[in-house]
Amino acid sequence: MSATAADPPATAASSEAQDTALIRRYGHNGPRNTTYPSALDFTDEFGASDFTEALETSNQQARPLSIHVHIPFCRKRCFYCVCNRTDITGNRRAEPYLSRLDREMTLVGRHLRPARPVEQLHWGGGMPTFLNLSQMSDLIDRLHARFGLSNATDRDYAIEIDPRAADVFMLRHLQALGFNRLSLGVQDFDPRVQRAINRVQSRSLTESLVDEAQRLGFASLNLDLTIGLPHQTRESFATTLEQIVELAPARLSLFNCAHRPRRFKAPRHIDASALPDAEETLAILETSHQRLAAAGYVHIGLEHYARADDSLAVAQHEGRLQHNFHGYTTHGHCDLVGLGVSAISQLDDCYARNATRMNDYAASLDAGRLATRRGLRLSFDGRIRRFVIQRLICDLRLDLGEVSERFAIDAPDYFAEALEALEPARRDGLLQRDGATLDVTASGHLLLRHLAMPFGARPSAEPSRHSRIRRGRS
């Protein structure tokens, strides 16, 4: 039935209700991570020799480098955490790991020209601030000796910080070491939620670090929040979000809690009856999305937000934004080298992952071998799918004409099944199609994973010179 003059106009409330119904309908299934390929696609038939070959090929292309260092240590276990980390107390217990990191740098560095600039550096965890100031300095010195770190003003050197294990003196030390971006874990300011996840950190502690970081002139500050934690409600999290907005960070990440007690030990300490149900979690996500938009934050995608003048938002506007295993990045043109237990490297079309168990990682390096355990070399089909998903989740639009020209294919025909699978989403207003161009609508922003999923058929792998790589499993 068509609308007439007697029909009431659509209201903001009715539009929000429609969006809620769409998210409820589509958002219950789909991947948690839209990185293509995913780590689940890696095969153990890709090993250290394949990674070595990829490093040598990388030298011929001479792209700049992005280095990720995984520091797996934490002083205290957070019950919601499902990351690869080790709980220890004393800093000295990290020394053997730092020594093995140095061995890995030496082995990797043999295959990389020292003149290649390290445009991006990231220390993740676990929690890198578990290390004391002397250990941090030593690690930076070793990285500089093996790769040659940059003093360029446009470098992107970031570190993840646990506010409970940092103070203003550490921030000044990190700045002196060359870091210019910080990411602080907050999760939630509600004391009841903090006690339930074994992560008590006062608002004043976080505020003091944010104030000092801004005073010191760090280029960007990111705050990590988590939704779906025990005792969270839309009202309680709205209070946390108001306090976060007052701190005015350049970037915000809203991660969805993955409660998987069958696979991981830490979540078993959480009372499952205290977790918000699916409806409440959805309400938290929606109200947060609306509040951040009202505060002037741009929704980059996949629950990441940035101020309009931040480099992520600028890169998205200019079509330069990319996404990898560490999230959205403005340095997707770099070859990514991962160092440490479970670290992932990406060298053009090759992906390599280190051993995920500390004993296996240590044994390889003690024997003078790279710690690569799994990986993948993308096929032509995989390269096409990676590009398509990248552009969709980074630009919030997809030009199949560009895909056709770039890969010399008929992209609408190549992805006919995917486009057919997206027809219900198009009819529901999650995306618009104009010829060969797809645009994600405002209603579809929170459902990017669902919209990208049809393009992500499992990649076929091409055989390497050393081994035949089988098809990854989902």
pLDDT digits (tens, 9 = 90+) for 217-270: 998 999 999 999 999 999 999 999 999 999 999 999 999 887 777 777 777 888
Residues 330 and 405 in one domain: no
Q: Is residue 364 part of a domain?
A: no
- pLDDT reading at 465 higher than 50: no
d(CA 411, CA 451): 17
pLDDT tier, 75 (very low <50, low <70, confident <90, very high otherwise): confident
| C-alpha of 428 from chain center | 29
Summarize pLDDT for 125-172 with one digit per residue, the tens.
888 999 999 999 999 999 999 998 999 988 999 999 999 989 999 999
The answer on pLDDT for 54 being more than 60 is yes
- Number of neighbouring beta carbons within 10 Å of residue 45: 17
> Does 230 lie in the same domain as 124?
yes
pLDDT in tens, 174-226: 999 999 999 999 999 999 999 999 999 999 999 999 999 999 999 899 999 99
Which distant-in-sequence residues (6+ apart) come within 8 Å of 156 by Cβ? 119, 120, 121, 180, 181, 219, 311, 330, 331
Q: Could you tell me if 139 and 216 lie in one domain?
A: yes
Tell me, what's the pLDDT at 80?
A: 79
Same domain assignment for residues 288 and 400? no
Task: Decide: 186 and 237 in contact? Cβ < 8 Å.
Answer: no
Same domain, 91 and 165: yes
Same domain, 407 and 319: no
* Tens digit of each residue's pLDDT (9 = 90 or more) over 107-132: 999 999 888 999 999 999 888 999 99
Tokens 């429609």 found at: 18
**What is the model's pLDDT at position 81?**
77
Assess whether 334 and 255 both reside in one domain. yes
The answer to whether residues 390 and 321 belong to one domain is no
- C-alpha radius of gyration, the chain, whole number: 23
Element (H, E) at 181: strand 181-187
Given a contact cutoff of 8 angstroms between Cβ atoms, the answer to whether 254 and 213 are in contact is no
Asked if residue 369 belongs to a domain, the reply is no
Domain co-membership, 159 together with 87: yes
d(CA 56, CA 53): 5
Amino acid (1-letter code) at residue 239: T
The whole-number average pLDDT for the span 29-34 is 53
Q: How confident is the model at residue 412 (pLDDT cuts 50, 70, 90)?
A: very high
Domain contains 110 = yes
Lowest pLDDT segment from 173-177, 273-277, 463-467: 463-467
Residue with the bigger pLDDT between 19 and 346: it is 346
Task: List, in order, residues 6 or more apart from 178 with CB less than 8 Å away.
Answer: 121, 140, 149, 150, 151, 155, 157
C-beta atoms surrounding 134 within 10 Å: 10
For 83, other C-beta atoms within 10 Å of its C-beta total: 15
Give the amino acid at 42: F
pLDDT score recorded for residue 262: 76
Task: Look up the domain containing 430 and give its range.
Answer: 380-455
Q: One-letter amino acid identity for 365?
A: L
Mean pLDDT, the chain, rounded, equals 88
With bands split at pLDDT 50, 70 and 90, how would you rate the model's confidence at 14? low
Written as six digits, the tokens of 236 are: 């309680």
Q: Using a pLDDT cut of 70, give the percent of the chain over it.
A: 88
In a domain, 62, yes or no: yes
Q: Please tell me the predicted confidence (pLDDT) of residue 5.
A: 39
Q: How far is CA 150 from the centre of its chain?
A: 23
Tell me, what CATH number does 113's domain have?
3.80.30.20
Q: How confident is the model at residue 10 (pLDDT cuts 50, 70, 90)?
A: very low
Q: What is the pLDDT of residue 27?
A: 59
DSSP class of residue 357 equals S
Q: Is 402 helix (H, G, I), strand (E, B) or coil?
A: helix
- Do residue 400 and residue 314 come from a single domain? no
CB atoms inside a 10 Å sphere around CB 354: 27
Q: From CA 219, how far away is CA 23, in angstroms rounded? A: 35
**Strand ranges for 20-165 from DSSP E:** 65-71, 73-74, 86-87, 118-125, 156-161
pTM value > 0.85: yes
In 197-267, where does DSSP find H-type helix? 203-216, 234-247
Domain identity same for 284 and 385: no
Residue 359 lies in a domain: no
**pLDDT-wise least confident of 15-29, 188-202, 339-353:** 15-29
**Contact status, residue 378 vs residue 362, Cβ threshold 8 Å:** no
The answer as to whether 463 is a domain residue is: no
CA-angle at 287, arms to 286 and 292, nearest 5°: 100
Q: Is residue 69 part of a domain?
A: yes
What is the number of structural domains in the chain?
A: 2
- Residue 37: CB atoms within 10 A of its CB come to 21
Q: Report the pLDDT value the prediction gives residue 266, as an integer from 0 to 100.
A: 73
Flag whether pLDDT at 340 surpasses 50: yes
Lowest-confidence range among 5-14, 247-256, 434-443? 5-14
17-35: average pLDDT:
63
pLDDT at position 17 is 62
| Whether the predicted pLDDT of 363 surpasses 60 | yes
Query: 334 — alpha (psi -120 to 50), left (phi > 0) or beta?
Result: beta
The one-character DSSP state at 378 is: B
CATH of the domain at 417: 1.10.10.920
- As a whole number of angstroms, the distance between CA 71 and CA 341 comes to 8
On whether residue 469 sits in a domain, the answer given is: no
